[in-house]
Structure 1
Amino acid sequence: MNDLSPEIRNLYLKYNGDIKKLLAENPNPDYLYALSDIRENLLEWYAFEPSASLLQAGSDYGALTGLYSRRVSHVTVLDLNQNNLSFNRLRHQDRNNIRYVNGDFDSIHQETFDYVVMTGSLKEPVKEQIEKAKNLLKPGGKLIISVCNRLGLKYQAGAVPDKIRLSRTELMELLCGNEQAEGEVSFYYPMPDYKLPVTLYSDAYLPAKGDLTHAILAYDYPKYLRFDLGKMFDEVCEGKQFETFANSFLTIWSCHEEN
């Protein structure tokens, strides 16, 4: 998505921070993604440690920053885009536990965190990004990543995927190594995707045939789909392959205790 920070900032000021009114009177998928409180569904359920520190890699218009600041002791927001950081600061000016850093992972020196979170902010080279994120974790810390699935049915139906897209196997190998011995990872499956999640499935609770027959259409689906998406999800669920063809992933990685 293009940098809409100045545009969104002007609208935010025009509506005195009333995001619901702003979105109601300015229907735009990009504004919805940047501002909607539905974004918080991705991690609203997660039990963050209240005394923890968290590094948010990618400001993302502050969509999840408020959630993090309410759940942990201190949040550091890291982004190369100064405009995005500026809007995030405006949006959360009433929060006193957020620090904003204009830079990338190399800008963080002699500091580690309990959580490093990357929601849709992975960049090339992906392997290097993930390793740098891991190196910024405290012992026992957790790396949280969300990314779209290159095999996701919504993209096979014609939706435009993110620049960075990974299959479940690719993501598992990047996080845990080819031998899957380096740490452990939990997979979750936001529907319709990680950007505006309504329902969250996990390996312990996967959808069955019929659960997604009338799958909620995402805001970025094309006008004409290449196939009946609900029917295809039924086939995938009945064939026990939902994990492979889910639209996106939310992963939580942590080191093995013995490491």
Structure 2
Amino acid sequence: MNDISPELKKLYQNYNGDIKKLLQENPRLDYLYALSEIRENLLDWFEFKPDATLLQVGSDYGSLTGLYSRRVKEVTVLDPSHNNLSFNRLRHQKQDNIHYVNGDLHSFTSDEGFDYIVFAGSLCEPYQDMTQKAKELLKPDGTMIAAITNRLGLKYQAGAKAEQFCLSRTELKELLCGSEGEEGTVKFYYPMPDYRLPVTIYSDGYLPGKGDLTHAILAYDYPKYLRFDLGKMFDEVCEGKQFETFANSFLTVWSRHEEN
């Protein structure tokens, strides 16, 4: 993915940090993904422990860093891109509980470990190596959170361009919990229309029914012409109780132990 940090930094400075005006006058999809406050909907509902430490894998232009810094005691942002970290630092310069580390997960070390490790679109190949490293960096009662595109998602079957790294629900569950499902526990959530600009987040205990998504397909990256009626197809999969399989993306919360 093309790193737009330098141009974002220049725009941010030109607009004196006024992101709303910046987006209004520069209506580009990649700017929206990087700067929109809608990004925070992904985890704004999640109950972080206020005295916790969090490792954010991938700077992602600071799209979620501000949320983390307001909700936990200490945030560490890890990214191999100096430019991305530089823009993130500028964007959140008023926050004093964020540490920026230029590097990758493979070579990163921590003596104390983290209460939370988050991959919001940053989980990539080799998947097994990344998740194993994250588990090693977690405290015994820590939580790993991951958001990723579903390669079977209806939006992509309809013609939208999928991200480079994507997994099916079964693949993701096996990655996190092992083929026998004995390596910890995971809860699945389903951001709609996707994890990047989520409007509604469903769960296994709160799934959409027929009609719920007929006219609620809000997304900015759909092609002009779809291969099929997406709303109608979502109705079909909801009625057939297959939404979990064909949701556009996943948000998972993994821990070593069953939560009370």
Give TM class, smaller chain: over 0.9
TM-score by length of 1: 0.98
Conserved 8 A contact 1:40-1:63 = yes
1:156 equivalent in structure 2: 157
How far did residue 256 of structure 1 move?
1.9
How high is the sequence identity, in percent, across the aligned residues?
73
Conserved 8 A contact 2:49-2:71 = yes
Conserved 8 A contact 1:140-1:257 = no
Cα deviation digits, residues 164-223 of structure 1 (max 9, x gap):
100000000000001101100000000000000000000000000000001323111111
Task: Please state whether the residue corresponding to 1:216 is helix, strand or coil.
Answer: coil
CA distance in 2, matches of 1:225, 1:241: 21
Task: Please state whether the residue corresponding to 1:107 is helix, strand or coil.
Answer: coil
1:80 equivalent in structure 2: 80
CA distance in 1, matches of 2:92, 2:132: 30
Conserved 8 A contact 2:110-2:137 = no
TM-score by length of 2: 0.98
Task: Please state whether the residue corresponding to 2:146 is helix, strand or coil.
Answer: strand
Spell out the pairing of 1:216-235 with structure 2 (5 A cutoff): 216-235=217-236
CA distance in 2, matches of 1:89, 1:214: 39
CA distance in 2, matches of 1:227, 1:44: 33
1:169 equivalent in structure 2: 170
CA distance in 1, matches of 2:73, 2:52: 5
Conserved 8 A contact 1:112-1:136 = yes
Point out where structure 1 has 5 or more consecutive residues left out of the alignment.
none
Task: Please state whether the residue corresponding to 2:166 is helix, strand or coil.
Answer: coil
1:237 equivalent in structure 2: 238
The amino acid across from 1:122 in the alignment is L
CA distance in 1, matches of 2:60, 2:193: 19
1:208 equivalent in structure 2: 209
Q: CA RMSD in A?
A: 1.0
Q: How many residues align?
A: 258
Spell out the pairing of 1:50-129 with structure 2 (5 A cutoff): 50-105=50-105, 106-129=107-130
Runs of 4 or more, structure 1, over 4 Å off, are: none
CA distance in 1, matches of 2:211, 2:82: 46
CA distance in 1, matches of 2:112, 2:48: 19
CA distance in 2, matches of 1:126, 1:55: 17
How far did residue 257 of structure 1 move?
5.8
Cα deviation digits, residues 3-48 of structure 1 (max 9, x gap):
0000001100010000000000000000000000000000000000
2:39 equivalent in structure 1: 39
How far did residue 104 of structure 1 move?
1.1
Point out where structure 2 has 5 or more consecutive residues left out of the alignment.
none
CA distance in 2, matches of 1:174, 1:134: 12
